[in-house]
Copies of this chain bind each other. A is one copy, B any other.
Amino acid sequence: MTVTFRPLLAGLGLSAALLASASTQAQDVDKAIEYRQGALRVMAWQLGPLGDMAQGDIDYDAEAFALRANNLAAVSHLPWEGFIEGSLQGDGHDIETRAQAAIGDDWAGFEERQATFRQEAATLAEMVEAGEEFNALRRQVGAVANSCSGCHDNYRWG
């Protein structure tokens, strides 16, 4: 099979270089998906205790709250560069993703929602820095969570 590979490709109008390039692109897409999934997991981890405190599931701890709010704001701009062309559902890559193809039809809307989330997360960190009271912080956690849902409801499957 190996000896007939190059002639076969040549017959199909393909070159080894082109194939190598396509393979690199596929690998890039896989890595981009894994990157964004990692970054979103980090965001969820940081948001978790904020949500738990806001909902009264765990006690409010000002130090822990500040740490999580700062971490969340610090990573809020990271995941989005991983949503590259060819990385959505049905794009034929090797990684399972819940990123719906609808993102590709509404890139501007997707980016707008990212910006809303980044703004809400930044506001939360600023409110902590300004020493605002827990009730106000609690409401802002709600605004952050809503901005997550604003995207998930439209662009994430399941």
- Using a CB–CB cutoff of 8 Å, the interface residues on chain A facing chain B are 31, 34-35, 37-42, 45, 71, 74-75, 78
Residue numbers in B under 8 Å from A35 (CB-CB): 41-42, 45
Number of copies: 2
The 4 closest A-B CB pairs, nearest first, are: A38-B38, A38-B41, A35-B45, A74-B74
Kindly report which residue of chain B lies nearest to residue A73, judged by CB atoms: B74
A42: chain B residues at CB < 8 Å are 35, 38-39, 42, 75, 78
Task: Report the separation of the CA atoms of residues A38 and B74 in the bound assembly, to the nearest whole angstrom.
Answer: 15
Which residues of the partner chain B approach A41 to less than 8 Å between Cβ atoms? Answer: 34-35, 38
Give, as a whole number of angstroms, the nearest-CB distance from A143 to chain B: 23
